[in-house]
Structure 1
Amino acid sequence: MTNERKNLTNEELLERQQQQFENYKQEQKKKSKKKWLFGCGGCLGLIIIIVIKFAACSATMVNEVDKEINKDTSEVEKDNNATSEQNAALNSAKTYSDTMHMSKAGIYDQLTSDAGDKFSAKDAQYAVDHLKANYKENALKAAKSYVKDQNMSKDAVYDQLISNAGDKFTEEEAQYAVDNLE
């Protein structure tokens, strides 16, 4: 080999060394890519995948809890042609149904009342027509409140629920409520 080196010119030796160095650099690049993939890069990728899966599971759980919490709430019927006043009346109607458990007639009266929201009769009617509420359940919740907070009898609760001065539930809604009191 030393004889072979002696026969090679300096330029040829330099070229051979350059080629060996290039081969060495390529081998090192391949090794470093493998190390990164299975080292830091692999760990980073694994962490990202775990975070994405955790976020997806969390979002699913939040949606399920939200559905459970809001299962008894009323819904509004979407109407792209509604005026801003009609939408405002509908949002108020939903609030009255969901939080105060009011009857359809009670909501209408509250929306049109001078002491209430002061909506026009047309906007209030739009709101109660487009509110999808379970008025029987609203009557039951109101009835439970009367029994618990005011110690009312079932007969007194029924009378309060159908009274024009009271809740203004229908007789069917009031009877459902009284029949389902515990």
Structure 2
Amino acid sequence: MKKEKPTTKVCKHCKTEIPYGAKICPQCRKKQGMGMFPKVVIGLVVIGVIGSAFGGNGSDNSVDTIPSVSATEISSAEPKAETSTIEPVETQTSIAEQATARTEPSVPTEYKSALKKAKTYSDMMYMSKAGIYNQLTSEFGEQFTPEAAQYAIDNLDADWNINALEKAKTYSETMHMSKAAIYDQLISEHGEAFTESEAQYAIDNIEADWNSNALEKAKVYQDTMSMSPAAIRDQLVSEYGEKFTAEEADYAIEHLE
């Protein structure tokens, strides 16, 4: 007697009787999944495919022998991953800070003070490099150590040509000195101690009326020392005096009152 195919089944989620072929329960709307029969069929199909792969064609049912490979051979054949130790970011930063601390030691307070004082002398008094160093180390000046003074000079941002020019302007405008006298004063070790090139830059770039300077200097000799015009002229052109040119001295004498 042929067994009749069932027309209903029980939902495995809500246990409601539903049509046998339903894939989704009309009540709880959940999928029913495959029964045991479809799963068995799929399993047999998979086994058949695997068997045909190893069986080959014709009556030869022998299976090719696959060479065995030992675990040691597999281990040696596998590429070995390169190992590298990557330090955490915090550790790398700490190492960098330590290296910086070793290469850039903290600057002593005395050195910083010397640099500030040197900047003042350069910016306010237009002193030369040598003049500032001497002032920083002098027992009658700032009394810094030679090391502190040298640090200040090495780290001072100054244009020595401009300093020499500004100093030359001061000598011309306030003391009415001649070109030659200003140059000598700029390079003198007992004066401003600029280099010859710095002093020459100042002389080449200063805007001064040397005739007027000679006249102002002549007036000083006349008013304060009551000197004669001839004596004044000699003083103006003397290499031990004012060092004006003969033309500048003549201009001064001609314009004296």
TM-score, normalising length from structure 1?
Answer: 0.56
Q: Partner residue of 2:198?
A: 173
Cα displacement (A) at 1:81: 2.2
- Paired AA for residue 151 in structure 1: H
List aligned pairs for 1:1-182, cutoff 5 A: 81-182=106-207
Structure 1: segments with no counterpart, 5+ residues: 1-78
Q: Which runs of 4 or more aligned residues in structure 1 lie more than 2 Å from their structure 2 counterparts after TM superposition?
A: none
Which whole-Å CA distance do the structure 1 matches of 2:154 and 2:177 have between them? Answer: 32
Q: Partner residue of 2:80?
A: none
The Cα offsets for residues 98-133 of structure 1, whole Å up to 9 and x where unpaired, read as 000000000000000011100001100010010010
TM-score, normalising length from structure 2?
Answer: 0.40
In structure 2, relative to structure 1, the CA distance for the partners of 1:151 and 1:90 (3 Å cut) is same
Secondary structure of the equivalent of 1:152?
Answer: coil
Tell me how many residue pairs correspond in the alignment.
Answer: 104
Q: Partner residue of 1:17?
A: none
Structure with the higher fraction of residues in helix conformation: 1
Larger radius of gyration: 2
Structure 2: segments with no counterpart, 5+ residues: 1-103, 208-257
Q: CA RMSD in A?
A: 1.1
Which whole-Å CA distance do the structure 1 matches of 2:172 and 2:165 have between them? Answer: 11
Which whole-Å CA distance do the structure 1 matches of 2:157 and 2:109 have between them? Answer: 19
Larger RCO (CA within 8 A; separation ≥ 6): 1
